[in-house]
Amino acid sequence: MKTSLMLSSALAAVIGCASVGNAIAGPSAEEMKSMEKCYGVAKAGQNDCAANGHACAGQAAKDMDKSEWKAVKKGTCEKMHGSLMAPKP
Protein backbone atom coordinates (compact mmCIF):
# COMPACT_ATOMS: atom_id res chain seq x y z
CA MET A 1 0.00 0.00 0.00
CA LYS A 2 2.76 2.45 0.91
CA THR A 3 4.62 1.74 -2.33
CA SER A 4 1.58 2.44 -4.51
CA LEU A 5 0.87 5.65 -2.58
CA MET A 6 4.46 6.80 -3.08
CA LEU A 7 4.35 5.98 -6.80
CA SER A 8 1.03 7.79 -7.21
CA SER A 9 2.41 10.85 -5.41
CA ALA A 10 5.56 10.86 -7.55
CA LEU A 11 3.52 10.58 -10.74
CA ALA A 12 1.26 13.44 -9.66
CA ALA A 13 4.31 15.60 -8.93
CA VAL A 14 5.82 14.92 -12.36
CA ILE A 15 2.55 15.73 -14.13
CA GLY A 16 2.16 18.91 -12.06
CA CYS A 17 5.68 20.08 -12.89
CA ALA A 18 5.14 19.46 -16.60
CA SER A 19 1.96 21.51 -16.67
CA VAL A 20 3.56 24.39 -14.75
CA GLY A 21 6.52 24.33 -17.14
CA ASN A 22 4.18 24.69 -20.10
CA ALA A 23 2.32 27.56 -18.43
CA ILE A 24 5.46 29.67 -17.95
CA ALA A 25 7.12 28.79 -21.23
CA GLY A 26 5.58 31.82 -22.94
CA PRO A 27 3.95 32.07 -26.34
CA SER A 28 4.98 29.80 -29.22
CA ALA A 29 6.67 31.11 -32.36
CA GLU A 30 3.34 30.78 -34.21
CA GLU A 31 1.50 32.81 -31.55
CA MET A 32 4.21 35.50 -31.62
CA LYS A 33 3.37 36.28 -35.27
CA SER A 34 0.21 38.08 -34.11
CA MET A 35 1.86 39.56 -31.02
CA GLU A 36 4.52 42.09 -30.08
CA LYS A 37 7.04 42.39 -27.25
CA CYS A 38 5.80 45.03 -24.83
CA TYR A 39 8.32 46.31 -22.28
CA GLY A 40 7.28 47.60 -18.88
CA VAL A 41 3.86 45.93 -18.56
CA ALA A 42 4.68 42.54 -17.02
CA LYS A 43 3.79 41.92 -13.41
CA ALA A 44 6.26 40.13 -11.14
CA GLY A 45 6.59 36.50 -12.22
CA GLN A 46 4.63 37.06 -15.45
CA ASN A 47 7.32 38.13 -17.94
CA ASP A 48 7.73 36.11 -21.14
CA CYS A 49 11.50 35.75 -21.43
CA ALA A 50 14.98 36.49 -20.11
CA ALA A 51 16.06 39.92 -18.82
CA ASN A 52 17.70 41.46 -15.77
CA GLY A 53 20.17 38.59 -15.34
CA HIS A 54 17.63 35.76 -15.06
CA ALA A 55 17.28 32.87 -17.47
CA CYS A 56 13.71 32.91 -18.74
CA ALA A 57 9.96 33.40 -18.37
CA GLY A 58 8.21 33.86 -15.06
CA GLN A 59 11.22 35.26 -13.19
CA ALA A 60 10.55 39.01 -13.14
CA ALA A 61 11.14 40.30 -9.61
CA LYS A 62 8.90 43.38 -9.66
CA ASP A 63 5.82 44.74 -11.39
CA MET A 64 6.17 46.90 -14.50
CA ASP A 65 9.97 46.69 -14.72
CA LYS A 66 11.00 48.57 -17.89
CA SER A 67 13.51 45.81 -18.77
CA GLU A 68 10.98 42.97 -18.65
CA TRP A 69 8.66 42.23 -21.55
CA LYS A 70 5.41 40.41 -22.11
CA ALA A 71 3.90 39.32 -25.42
CA VAL A 72 0.67 41.19 -26.14
CA LYS A 73 -1.61 41.39 -29.18
CA LYS A 74 -0.26 43.71 -31.87
CA GLY A 75 -1.48 47.25 -31.43
CA THR A 76 -2.17 47.01 -27.69
CA CYS A 77 1.22 47.73 -26.08
CA GLU A 78 1.09 51.50 -26.18
CA LYS A 79 -2.54 51.45 -24.97
CA MET A 80 -1.19 49.60 -21.90
CA HIS A 81 1.42 52.36 -21.40
CA GLY A 82 4.23 50.01 -22.40
CA SER A 83 7.06 50.43 -24.88
CA LEU A 84 7.87 48.49 -28.05
CA MET A 85 11.55 49.38 -27.61
CA ALA A 86 13.85 47.76 -25.08
CA PRO A 87 15.38 50.27 -22.65
CA LYS A 88 18.95 51.31 -23.33
CA PRO A 89 21.44 49.48 -21.09
Three-state SS at 41: coil
Cβ-based neighbour number of residue 64 at 10 Å: 15
Q: What's the pLDDT at 18?
A: 46
pLDDT, greater one: 8 or 76: 76
pLDDT tens for 26-83 read 678 788 789 999 999 999 988 887 776 677 787 788 899 888 889 999 999 999 999 9
Q: What's the pLDDT at 89?
A: 77
Cα separation, 12 vs 30, whole angstroms: 30
DSSP-assigned states of every residue in 16-32: HHHHHHHHTS---HHHH
pLDDT, greater one: 2 or 80: 80
